[in-house]
């Protein structure tokens, strides 16, 4: 069985980060080890959340895993709480990564033109320069890309394909092999992903319908699904299409429930659909 390690916080309530990655990746038939970088009572959109930083656990965990000779087919990183933690996560990754290990970085730190609580533009630049630079694949949304590059943020409806391609060129110049922008909308009613392979210079894209609802954790659903699909043998463009279709299905399932919560999506109900998408 393929094995991935997901490195990000555990928000005890909130349907994001590890509470999404673990069930989604496991459901796809891939072993999912985890490294919780912090424990929060909820994600940071709740008022008054608590947070215990676990950065000091990274080195002992890596040392122990190395002593056990474990290897990983992929390493996936998500929300990272600070620039010092980003550097520690990178050291951790370097110490357990082999040449065959795929590194997928989701620089989860911003959406809708704004950074999440507690982050600064300097942190965003550090995430780009430190963590994204070493990745095989990065999958920021447009807000995250703009902050990492110090570029202008443009809202849906006010940018064109040239803007998307410029962001992608800036992202691959940071160093990752491939960059994928999520939440790209080039036509009314359509939303999807647009990527660039830094080696071949080839662009690729996949669009689905735009569902007019925003929820926390959809980036985490997307990113985890992409990693799970890749480890099921799908090519990147196929994995992204699966991740986009599943994420849209999760949002639709959520809004179809009149009493749905505001903080995350009902990804659980759509797991059978996800398995169908990957032929399981
Ligand atoms: O879904 C991204 C995410 C992950 N982890 C924490 C968050 C958020 C988004 O707000 O606050 C702690």
Q: Give me the phi and psi of 114, to 5 degrees please.
A: -130, 145
**pLDDT 10s per residue in the chain (280 long)?**
999 999 999 999 999 999 999 999 999 999 999 999 999 999 999 999 999 999 999 999 999 999 999 999 999 999 999 999 999 999 999 999 999 999 999 999 999 999 999 999 999 999 999 999 999 999 999 999 999 999 999 999 999 999 999 999 999 999 999 999 999 999 999 999 999 999 999 999 999 999 999 999 999 999 999 999 999 999 999 999 999 999 999 999 999 999 999 999 999 999 999 999 999 9
Distance 257 CA to ligand 1 centre (A): 23
Q: Is 219 in the pocket of ligand 1 (CB under 6 A)?
A: yes
Question: Given ligand 1 and candidates 12, 24, 41, 44, which is best to mutate, with the most ligand atoms within 8 Å of its CB?
Answer: 44
DSSP-assigned letters across all residues of 108-161? --EETTEEPTT--HHHHHHIIIIIGGG-SEE--BHHHHHHHHTPPP--TTS--H
Distance 16 CA to ligand 1 centre (A): 6
Query: What sections of the chain are H helices per DSSP?
Result: 18-27, 58-68, 83-96, 121-126, 142-149, 161-173, 218-231, 236-255, 271-277
Instruction: Give every CB contact of residue 136 below 8 A, 6+ residues apart in sequence.
Output: 102, 103, 104, 176, 177, 178
Distance 160 CA to ligand 1 centre (A): 28
0.95 surpassed by pTM: yes
Q: Whose alpha carbon is nearest atom 12 of ligand 1?
A: 43
């Amino acid at each position: 069985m393929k094995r991935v390690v997901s490195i990000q916080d555990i928000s005890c309530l909130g349907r994001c980060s590890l509470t999404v990655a673990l069930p989604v990746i496991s459901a796809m038939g891939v072993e999912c080890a985890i490294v919780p970088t912090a424990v929060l009572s909820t994600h940071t959109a709740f008022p008054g959340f608590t947070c215990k930083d676990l950065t000091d656990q990274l080195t002992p965990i890596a040392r122990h895993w190395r002593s056990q000779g474990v290897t990983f087919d992929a390493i996936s990183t998500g929300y990272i709480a600070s620039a010092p933690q980003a550097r520690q996560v990178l050291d951790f990754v370097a110490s357990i990564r082999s040449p065959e290990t795929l590194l997928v970085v989701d620089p989860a730190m911003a959406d809708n033109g704004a950074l999440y609580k507690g982050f600064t533009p300097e942190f965003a630049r550090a995430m780009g320069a430190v963590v994204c630079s070493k990745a095989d694949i990065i999958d920021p949304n447009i807000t995250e890309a703009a902050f990492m590059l110090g570029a202008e943020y443009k809202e849906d409806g006010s940018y064109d394909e040239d803007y998307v391609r410029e962001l992608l060129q800036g992202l691959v110049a940071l160093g990752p092999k491939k960059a994928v922008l999520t939440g790209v909308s080039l036509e009314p009613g359509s939303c999807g992903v647009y990527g660039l392979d830094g080696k071949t210079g080839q662009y690729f894209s996949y669009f689905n319908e735009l569902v007019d609802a925003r929820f926390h954790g959809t980036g985490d659903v997307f990113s985890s699904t992409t990693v799970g699909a890749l480890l099921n043998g799908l090519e990147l463009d196929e994995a992204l299409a699966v991740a986009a279709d599943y994420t849209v299905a999760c949002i639709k399932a959520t809004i179809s429930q009149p009493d749905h919560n505001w903080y995350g999506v009902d990804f659980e109900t759509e797991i059978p659909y996800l398995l169908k998408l990957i032929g399981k």
